[in-house]
Amino acid sequence: MAPLLQLPFFFFFFVFFFSFSLLTDGDNTSHVEQAGNFHIYYGQSFKVIKNALDGQSYLLLQNSSRAATRSRYCTGRIKSFVIPLSNFSIDTTTVPVSFFELLGLLGSLKAITSESMSSECLLKTYMGGEIEIVNKSETNQLATQFTAHFIGEKRQSRACNFVTFEPSEENTPLQRTEWIKYLGTFLNVEARANQVFQAVKENYGCLIKAAANTSATSFKPVVAWVGCNEGMWSFSHDTYKSQYVVDAGGENLEDSLEANAYNMSIPQDLDDFRALLCTLDVVIDETYASDPSEYTLSTFMQNVNISDNDCFSFLTNRSLWRYDKRVHNTTLDWFDGAISQPQLVLADLIEAFFPTGNYTTTYLRNIAKGEGITDIAPERCGRSSDTAMDPTIVPCNTIS
Ligand SMILES: *[C@@H]1O[C@H](CO)[C@@H](O)[C@H](O)[C@H]1NC(C)=O
Ligand SMILES: *[C@@H]1O[C@H](CO)[C@@H](O)[C@H](O)[C@H]1NC(C)=O
Ligand SMILES: *[C@@H]1O[C@H](CO)[C@@H](O)[C@H](O)[C@H]1NC(C)=O
Ligand SMILES: *[C@@H]1O[C@H](CO)[C@@H](O)[C@H](O)[C@H]1NC(C)=O
Ligand SMILES: *[C@@H]1O[C@H](CO)[C@@H](O)[C@H](O)[C@H]1NC(C)=O
Ligand SMILES: *[C@@H]1O[C@H](CO)[C@@H](O)[C@H](O)[C@H]1NC(C)=O
Ligand SMILES: *[C@@H]1O[C@H](CO)[C@@H](O)[C@H](O)[C@H]1NC(C)=O
Ligand SMILES: *[C@@H]1O[C@H](CO)[C@@H](O)[C@H](O)[C@H]1NC(C)=O
Ligand SMILES: *[C@@H]1O[C@H](CO)[C@@H](O)[C@H](O)[C@H]1NC(C)=O
Ligand SMILES: *[C@@H]1O[C@H](CO)[C@@H](O)[C@H](O)[C@H]1NC(C)=O
């Protein structure tokens, strides 16, 4: 292996700007349209990914280039990789694997860090013995046995082959999805990444229009995401969730109305919280459940300490949802597949806000109607490990 070199900055930027002018635009390049946290630059035989979250730049050298065989960089701010990566591992406790599946990369995945999985095809590949489990605390093994190791926490990014991949840090659903382009560059599959992002974006955009059309002629439901943790209820302030509500034709509960948290043991808090609940048409209960299948309407009623539905229109109208419909053991696909395919979440929310009874939701289940979870089973995977998963396009009637 070539010696580790400290890259002189002036040299790096000279090469960078010189080659930048020679870049060719085409199917083999990706350009960031919406995401705020990364940038991609193309040179003739290399690419640079700049991750704005951790300030790291990844210098990706094509395996056919001379630089690839001669140099390797690993400084505080710049790491180099020879691409396409011949293999990689993923910290599956923090990185959504569905992005890799959409790009058809499961065949190069050699190790994951946990048995918790929420993908039919990852389960099948794992059970077929093609993927090993490496404890994430075995950093030495992860740092030496794989060409790259993808992680979701910048804290552990020290090793030279560690790459941070953090779609969840973005503010909107589509920004999160666009991180597929970030991955695509490491394996020269930009064309596929562009194609997936475009398909998802178009479907998502079409669904927004359909929802806008519906909400123009009926009332906009007021929606909140709430969760209970050790006797304290609170409202979620995640921007991507508010964006989903707006995109699906709903209205978010005014931020100004909400306190931070409501202690169910304090009568005044309980009253205030219930008063706010009374204003809601649709509630999404995010309360953590160690066994999602056991979380039912009565669990919610206990957590709010009520026994009747009187003032709650979301209960009389039966619109109390959870995003743990797709689950394997206790692992929710909401934290994986839902990030790469937001059009499915949007379609679920539209069905929740403007029910047709004609659409089967993917991620959301209505516990007010006693809807249960769907299990994720490896038998349902109908692809080989290196066949790409296609995004699911939801029928959208507004554009014909
Ligand atoms: C993209 O492909 C074109 C030809 O199809 C090639 O000339 C160009 O060097 C490629 N660019 C990159 C960054 O791979
Ligand atoms: C570069 O990667 C491609 C795709 O993995 C491979 O077919 C090719 O042999 C590699 N070339 C070199 C010089 O390693
Ligand atoms: C991983 O290693 C740590 C520390 O060695 C240990 O505490 C933990 O139980 C291990 N996890 C698994 C899933 O084996
Ligand atoms: C990953 O690829 C590298 C470089 O090609 C190789 O040395 C290593 O053995 C591979 N690891 C696995 C687990 O296949
Ligand atoms: C809730 O209030 C009770 C009674 O005042 C208190 O004992 C408890 O610590 C509070 N819980 C939290 C999480 O603050
Ligand atoms: C639930 O409400 C009842 C009265 O409605 C009250 O007596 C009880 O203390 C409350 N439980 C909790 C845990 O706050
Ligand atoms: C109940 O839901 C339906 C359909 O979403 C809506 O038309 C109706 O106005 C709602 N009723 C109440 C009382 O919120
Ligand atoms: C999770 O599911 C697998 C099979 O799909 C099973 O073998 C395993 O025991 C389950 N783990 C737990 C903790 O329930
Ligand atoms: C249900 O969906 C099908 C196919 O998308 C459509 O043809 C039909 O008109 C829908 N029915 C209702 C009641 O919306
Ligand atoms: C909204 O609905 C009307 C009639 O139902 C239709 O003509 C129009 O094209 C729709 N607009 C959009 C943006 O889908």
Is-contact 176 342, C-beta < 8 A? yes
Mean predicted lDDT score pLDDT of the chain: 89
Answer whether 397 contacts ligand 9 (Cβ < 6 A): no
CA-closest residue to ligand 3 atom 12: 135
pLDDT single digits (tens) 348-395? 999 999 999 989 999 999 999 999 999 899 999 999 888 999 999 999
Output the pLDDT for position 157: 59
Predicted model pTM: 0.90
Residues near ligand 3 (Cβ within 6 A)? 135, 137
**Domain boundaries of the chain, sorted by first residue:** 4-188, 197-380
- The verdict on the CB of residue 133 being under 6 Å from ligand 5 is no
Q: What is the pLDDT of residues 275-295, one digit of tens each?
A: 999 999 999 999 999 999 999
Rounded CA-CA distance 179/199 in Å is 14
Q: What is the pLDDT of residues 219-235, one digit of tens each?
A: 899 999 999 999 999 99
Residue 146 Cα to ligand 1 midpoint, Å, equals 27
Is residue 2 within 8 A of residue 72, CB to CB? The reply is yes
Average pLDDT over residues 324-331: 94
Give distance in angstroms: CA of 1 to centre of ligand 1: 27
Query: pLDDT tens, 104-159?
Result: 999 999 999 999 999 999 999 999 999 999 998 888 899 999 999 999 987 765 79
Report CA torsion sign: 258, 261, 264, 268.
Answer: negative
* DSSP state letter for 225: E
Name the pLDDT band for 13 (thresholds 50, 70, 90): very low
Give the CATH number of domain 197-380; options: 3.40.50.1980, 3.40.50.1260, 3.20.20.150, 3.40.50.720.
3.40.50.1980
